[in-house]
Amino acid sequence: MVDIDEKIYVYKVRLISRQRKFILSIGLLSFFATVLLPDNRVYAQSDSIFVDTTKAVRPNYKMLRGIFAGQSVLYLGSIYGLSKSWYKNSLTNFTVQDDSHEWLQMDKMGHVYTSYQIARHTAALYQKTGISKKQMLIYGAISGIIFQTPIEILDGFSPDYGFSPGDMAANITGSVLFLGQIALWDEIRIQPKFSFHYTSLAAVRPELLGSSFSERWLKDYNGQTYWLSASPGSFFKNSGWPKWLCFSIGYGINNMVSAERYKSVEMGYIPYRQYYLSLDIDLTKIKTKSKLLKAIGFMANSIKIPAPALQISKNGVDFKPFYF
Sign of CA dihedral 265, 270, 271, 273: positive
Shortest CA distance to 89 belongs to which of 19, 7, 166?
7
Domain ranges in the chain? Answer: 5-323
State if pTM tops 0.85.
no
Closest CA to 111 of 103, 92, 258, 70: 103
Encode 274-298: b = buried (16+ Cβ within 10 Å), e = exposed: bebebebbbbbbeeeeeeeebbebb
From first to last of its 324 residues, the chain has per-residue pLDDT tens of: 444 444 444 454 455 445 444 444 444 444 444 334 333 333 333 334 444 444 456 778 788 888 878 877 877 776 676 666 556 666 678 888 888 899 999 999 999 999 999 888 888 888 778 877 778 778 777 877 877 787 788 778 877 778 889 999 999 999 999 989 988 898 899 999 999 999 999 999 999 999 888 888 888 999 999 999 999 999 998 899 999 999 999 999 999 999 999 999 999 999 999 999 999 999 999 999 998 999 899 999 999 999 999 999 999 999 999 998
